[in-house]
Amino acid sequence: MQLKKNVLKPQLEAADEAGYTNYAKYKELYESDKATVEQIEDAAEELKDAVLEFKYSSASETSPADLTAMIKNASFESADGWTSWRANNNNNFGIVTKNEGEIGTSDGFDFRTFFERWVATLPRVIITLNSL
Protein backbone atom coordinates (compact mmCIF):
# COMPACT_ATOMS: atom_id res chain seq x y z
CA MET A 1 0.00 0.00 0.00
CA GLN A 2 1.75 3.13 -1.23
CA LEU A 3 -0.26 5.38 1.08
CA LYS A 4 1.77 4.02 4.01
CA LYS A 5 4.93 5.41 2.49
CA ASN A 6 3.38 8.74 1.57
CA VAL A 7 1.57 9.45 4.83
CA LEU A 8 2.86 7.48 7.80
CA LYS A 9 6.54 6.94 6.96
CA PRO A 10 7.45 10.67 7.05
CA GLN A 11 5.83 10.91 10.49
CA LEU A 12 7.81 7.90 11.73
CA GLU A 13 11.00 9.52 10.43
CA ALA A 14 10.06 12.82 12.09
CA ALA A 15 9.55 10.96 15.38
CA ASP A 16 13.04 9.46 15.13
CA GLU A 17 14.55 12.81 14.24
CA ALA A 18 12.87 14.50 17.22
CA GLY A 19 13.95 11.79 19.64
CA TYR A 20 10.36 10.67 20.24
CA THR A 21 10.43 6.95 21.05
CA ASN A 22 6.84 6.07 21.93
CA TYR A 23 5.76 5.13 18.40
CA ALA A 24 5.75 1.29 18.39
CA LYS A 25 2.01 1.06 17.64
CA TYR A 26 2.42 3.37 14.62
CA LYS A 27 5.34 1.37 13.27
CA GLU A 28 3.34 -1.82 13.74
CA LEU A 29 0.45 -0.31 11.78
CA TYR A 30 2.89 0.84 9.07
CA GLU A 31 4.22 -2.70 8.70
CA SER A 32 0.77 -4.32 8.78
CA ASP A 33 -0.76 -5.69 5.58
CA LYS A 34 -4.23 -5.34 7.10
CA ALA A 35 -4.14 -1.60 7.87
CA THR A 36 -6.82 0.45 6.14
CA VAL A 37 -6.27 3.79 4.48
CA GLU A 38 -8.33 5.47 7.19
CA GLN A 39 -6.29 3.83 9.97
CA ILE A 40 -3.05 4.97 8.36
CA GLU A 41 -4.27 8.53 7.84
CA ASP A 42 -5.54 8.72 11.44
CA ALA A 43 -2.30 7.26 12.78
CA ALA A 44 -0.18 9.71 10.78
CA GLU A 45 -2.13 12.67 12.16
CA GLU A 46 -2.05 11.29 15.70
CA LEU A 47 1.71 10.65 15.54
CA LYS A 48 2.33 14.10 14.08
CA ASP A 49 0.45 15.66 17.01
CA ALA A 50 2.29 13.48 19.54
CA VAL A 51 5.69 14.45 18.12
CA LEU A 52 4.79 18.16 18.11
CA GLU A 53 3.60 17.92 21.71
CA PHE A 54 6.84 16.11 22.61
CA LYS A 55 8.92 18.83 20.92
CA TYR A 56 6.93 21.57 22.63
CA SER A 57 7.18 19.99 26.08
CA SER A 58 10.91 19.38 25.79
CA ALA A 59 11.81 22.80 24.35
CA SER A 60 13.91 25.22 26.36
CA GLU A 61 15.79 28.45 25.85
CA THR A 62 18.97 26.52 25.08
CA SER A 63 17.20 23.86 23.02
CA PRO A 64 14.33 25.53 21.13
CA ALA A 65 11.82 23.51 19.11
CA ASP A 66 10.74 24.19 15.54
CA LEU A 67 6.95 24.33 15.75
CA THR A 68 6.33 25.65 12.25
CA ALA A 69 4.21 22.58 11.52
CA MET A 70 1.67 23.84 14.04
CA ILE A 71 0.91 26.86 11.85
CA LYS A 72 -1.99 26.13 9.56
CA ASN A 73 -1.11 27.09 5.98
CA ALA A 74 2.28 28.51 6.97
CA SER A 75 3.25 29.02 3.32
CA PHE A 76 0.26 31.33 2.67
CA GLU A 77 -0.88 29.43 -0.41
CA SER A 78 -4.29 30.90 0.42
CA ALA A 79 -5.97 32.71 3.29
CA ASP A 80 -7.20 29.37 4.70
CA GLY A 81 -6.45 29.30 8.41
CA TRP A 82 -5.70 33.01 8.66
CA THR A 83 -7.98 35.86 9.68
CA SER A 84 -7.85 39.03 7.61
CA TRP A 85 -9.22 42.21 9.09
CA ARG A 86 -9.71 45.81 8.21
CA ALA A 87 -10.01 48.19 11.14
CA ASN A 88 -10.53 51.17 8.84
CA ASN A 89 -9.36 52.33 5.43
CA ASN A 90 -5.84 52.93 6.73
CA ASN A 91 -5.21 49.79 8.74
CA ASN A 92 -5.21 46.44 6.93
CA PHE A 93 -3.98 42.91 7.45
CA GLY A 94 -4.48 40.52 4.58
CA ILE A 95 -3.05 38.14 2.03
CA VAL A 96 -1.01 39.52 -0.87
CA THR A 97 -0.40 37.49 -4.01
CA LYS A 98 2.13 38.67 -6.59
CA ASN A 99 2.92 37.39 -10.07
CA GLU A 100 5.84 35.06 -10.61
CA GLY A 101 9.08 37.04 -10.59
CA GLU A 102 7.44 40.23 -9.29
CA ILE A 103 9.13 40.06 -5.88
CA GLY A 104 12.31 38.18 -5.10
CA THR A 105 14.39 37.75 -1.99
CA SER A 106 18.11 38.44 -1.75
CA ASP A 107 18.83 34.72 -2.19
CA GLY A 108 16.75 34.55 -5.39
CA PHE A 109 13.63 32.95 -3.91
CA ASP A 110 10.44 33.91 -5.77
CA PHE A 111 8.29 35.52 -3.09
CA ARG A 112 4.68 35.25 -4.25
CA THR A 113 2.24 34.96 -1.35
CA PHE A 114 2.40 36.53 2.08
CA PHE A 115 0.34 38.38 4.66
CA GLU A 116 1.07 41.99 5.37
CA ARG A 117 -0.21 44.79 7.54
CA TRP A 118 0.08 48.23 6.11
CA VAL A 119 -0.85 51.77 7.05
CA ALA A 120 -1.78 54.12 4.22
CA THR A 121 -0.49 57.27 5.92
CA LEU A 122 2.68 57.58 7.91
CA PRO A 123 2.22 58.14 11.62
CA ARG A 124 3.01 61.62 12.93
CA VAL A 125 6.43 61.65 14.56
CA ILE A 126 7.79 64.52 16.61
CA ILE A 127 11.50 64.67 17.33
CA THR A 128 12.81 67.19 19.83
CA LEU A 129 16.49 68.02 19.99
CA ASN A 130 17.85 69.46 23.17
CA SER A 131 21.03 71.46 23.06
CA LEU A 132 23.67 69.85 20.95
Residue-wise pLDDT tens digits, 65-95: 887 777 777 766 666 766 666 655 555 666 6
**96-131 pLDDT, tens digit each:** 777 777 776 777 777 676 666 666 666 666 666 665
| The predicted structure's pLDDT at residue 68 | 77
Average pLDDT score over residue span 37-57: 92
- What gap in Å lies between CA 92 and CA 117, rounded to an integer? 5
pLDDT at 51 over 90: yes
Residue 8 and residue 30 in contact, taking contact as beta carbons nearer than 8 Å: yes
User: How far, in Å, CA of 27 to CA of 33, rounded?
Assistant: 12
- Look at residue 1 in the predicted model and tell me its pLDDT: 61
